[in-house]
């Protein structure tokens, strides 16, 4: 699932570290061995080849922050190099904490990074998990409100991770904690990240009404935010509330087709329709096309149809792919430049934040599934339209 709106919690190193994990290659191991066999370097060479991971001595807080950034750029693409870099970042923050009179804003940012890298490391190292727990406990007892807030947020994040299995009462209590954070400070990006994860978890639990109400609350907070990017994305949160309440209810589709014609959604009544949010640059979207074509061949005469909602940035990109793959179904795309891509009005109205999103609609126009892909689409179509002719013939032959 490709995501549209990532939550930027100040320099979240853990995400970068976890994005690609490849086992060290034989070549890299040979390189280490070769290095060990080299003759001792001269004093000049030693200075030129200083260990880039070495934490500088007697450094200022600003210099240590610069070192953290430099080490982060060395994280590489293997678990070994990412873990080494993350460990050094965490150790460097400890050095910053030992300094006197460090600017609180600088320290807060550094601690956020330390929490991020320790979260990453704790997936693989028990000692890192214990170190993270100890850090959070220390921050919770700090005299400075900004530092204590970090601990509160981290403790809340850990409880949010379990929210999908929590009772409705506990889920409402978690929402209450978010509301308290907002009332005591503001709805900034870090609080947004916690809120969005909580809303997703509650939605996954099946407590749709609680999740929908919380999405709408998030939308109101975002509209009132001083952050322009948050204001712009507020409609997406309100749309997410609509989206998770779609099952069993009608879905509304309006807009123009790639041919520039007004789309007539009512003309599809009496058909079972797959509403597919997609883009030509989306690998998983492209991967599902053969299955959609196959099912259209099987069930097209029985009343199955496909309507695409395209999220490309240009009409040309959409049309090129449609022609290349010979897509026979109607696709909707706005003819306004500021309504292209993720800003497609239908995608905004339903808070679509990841593609492909494949929604199956029954003959009455009501949503029967929000995940109509792969074998699940096969199953749903047979349930809605009966077995396709070729399967009936095969069963009769047996």
pLDDT at 239 over 80: yes
pLDDT attached to residue 13: 35
Distance CA 168, CA 221 (A): 22
Q: CA 364 to CA 304: how far, in whole Å? A: 13
Mean pLDDT of 166-183: 96
Measure the CA–CA gap between 145 and 277, rounded to whole angstroms: 44
Residue 396, pLDDT above cutoff 70: no
- The pLDDT tens digits of the residues spanning 112-165 come to 999 999 999 999 999 999 999 999 999 999 999 999 989 988 999 999 999 999
Query: What is the structure's pLDDT at 190?
Result: 86
Burial of 213 (0-12, 13-18, 19+ CB in 10 A): middle
Q: In this predicted structure, what is the pLDDT of residue 48?
A: 55
Domains of the chain by start residue, with CATH: 61-245 (1.25.40), 256-385 (3.40.30.10)
pLDDT at residue 248 above 90? yes
The tens digit of pLDDT for each residue in 196-211 reads 999 999 999 999 999 9
Task: Tell me the percentage of the chain whose pLDDT exceeds 70.
Answer: 85
Alpha helices in 163-311 (DSSP H): 168-184, 189-205, 208-223, 228-244, 283-299
The residue with tokens 């029967």 is: 368
Q: d(Cα 323, Cα 238) in Å, to the nearest integer?
A: 35
According to the model, what pLDDT value does residue 4 have?
33
Over the stretch 102-111, which tens digit does the pLDDT of each residue have?
999 999 999 9
pLDDT at 392 exceeding the cut of 60: no
Give this prediction's pTM: 0.74
Of 358, 186, 354, which Cα lies nearest the Cα of 272? Answer: 358
Q: Which helix (H) or strand (E) holds 115?
A: helix 104-121
Q: Can you give the pLDDT at residue 389?
A: 78
Q: At what angle do helices 208-223 and 228-244 cross, to 10 degrees?
A: 160
Average of pLDDT values for 313-329?
A: 97
Greater model confidence, 305 or 9: 305
pLDDT classification of 342: cutoffs 50, 70, 90: very high
Ramachandran assignment for 248, one of left (phi > 0), alpha (psi -120 to 50 degrees), beta (any other): left
CA distance 158 to 280: 37
């Amino acid at each position: 699932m490709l995501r549209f709106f990532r939550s930027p919690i100040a320099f979240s190193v853990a995400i970068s570290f976890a994005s690609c994990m490849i086992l060290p290659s034989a070549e890299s191991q040979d390189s280490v061995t070769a290095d060990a066999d080299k003759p001792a370097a001269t004093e000049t060479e030693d200075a030129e080849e200083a260990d880039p991971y070495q934490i500088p001595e007697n450094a200022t807080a600003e210099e240590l922050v610069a070192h953290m950034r430099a080490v982060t750029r060395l994280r590489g693409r293997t678990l070994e190099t990412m873990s080494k870099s993350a460990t050094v970042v965490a150790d460097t923050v400890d050095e910053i904490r030992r300094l006197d009179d460090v600017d609180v804003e600088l320290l807060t940012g550094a601690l956020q990074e330390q929490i991020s890298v320790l979260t990453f490391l704790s997936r693989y190292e028990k000692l890192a998990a214990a170190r993270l727990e100890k850090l959070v406990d220390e921050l919770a007892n700090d005299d400075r409100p900004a530092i204590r807030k970090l601990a509160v947020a981290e403790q809340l994040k850990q409880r949010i991770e379990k929210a999908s299995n929590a009772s409705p009462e506990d889920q409402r209590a978690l929402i209450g904690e978010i509301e308290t954070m907002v009332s005591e400070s503001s709805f900034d990006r870090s609080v947004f990240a916690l809120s969005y994860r909580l809303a997703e978890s509650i939605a996954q639990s099946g407590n749709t009404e609680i999740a929908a109400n919380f999405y709408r609350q998030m939308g109101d907070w975002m509209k009132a935010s001083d952050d322009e990017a948050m204001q712009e994305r507020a409609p997406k949160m309100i749309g997410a509330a609509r989206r998770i309440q779609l099952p069993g209810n009608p879905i509304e589709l309006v807009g123009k087709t790639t041919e520039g014609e007004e789309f007539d959604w009512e003309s599809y009544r009496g058909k079972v329709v797959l509403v597919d949010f997609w883009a030509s640059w989306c690998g998983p979207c492209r991967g599902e096309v053969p299955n959609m074509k196959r099912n259209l061949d099987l069930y097209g005469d029985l009343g199955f149809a496909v309507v695409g909602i395209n999220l490309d940035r240009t009409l040309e990109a959409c049309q090129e792919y449609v022609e290349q793959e010979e897509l026979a179904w109607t696709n909707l795309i706005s003819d306004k430049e500021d309504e292209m891509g993720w800003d497609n009005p239908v995608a905004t109205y339903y808070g679509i934040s990841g593609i492909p999103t494949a929604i199956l609609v029954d003959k009455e126009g009501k949503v029967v599934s929000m995940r109509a892909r792969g074998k699940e689409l096969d199953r749903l179509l047979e349930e809605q339209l009966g077995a396709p002719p070729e399967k009936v013939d095969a069963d009769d032959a047996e």
